[in-house]
Amino acid sequence: EVVLTQSPATLSLSPGERATLSCRASQSVRSYFAWYQQKPGQAPRLLIYDASTRATGIPARFSGSGSGTDFTLTISGLEPEDFAVYYCQQRNNWPITFGQGTRLEIK
């Protein structure tokens, strides 16, 4: 199966700063890649699919890039509600796999 490795495990930033989250795949997943946000006690929320397409209703401060094995989620100008856990996911190969998550916390 495709292993997704997210870095860093924890990211400490202040509101207004720019966040850069990474995910590396153990083999190419082309652009069949997504990012999710999860807050405590809530279901995940789709942010980005197909590596760079924002899902419906997602603010423009969220952007995704990459293809093949290296992907990045960028949040430009952190808002207080952005502090959460972020997961990457690939759908190029069965079984579908998720990364282990990056916790974005307030500094």
Assigned token pair, 14: 């202040």
Number of residues that bind other proteins (CB under 8 A): 23
Please report whether residue 86 would count as binding other proteins according to CB under 8 A.
Answer: no
CB nearer to other proteins: give 96 or 106: 96
Among 24, 30, 45, 61, binds other proteins (CB under 8 A): 45
Q: Which residues, 6 or more positions from 36, have their beta carbon under 8 angstroms from its beta carbon?
A: 44, 45, 46, 47, 86, 87, 88, 89
User: Is residue 98 a contact point for other proteins (CB under 8 A)?
Assistant: yes
CA pair distance 50, 5, nearest whole angstrom = 18
- Shortest distance, position 29 Cβ to other proteins, whole Å: 12
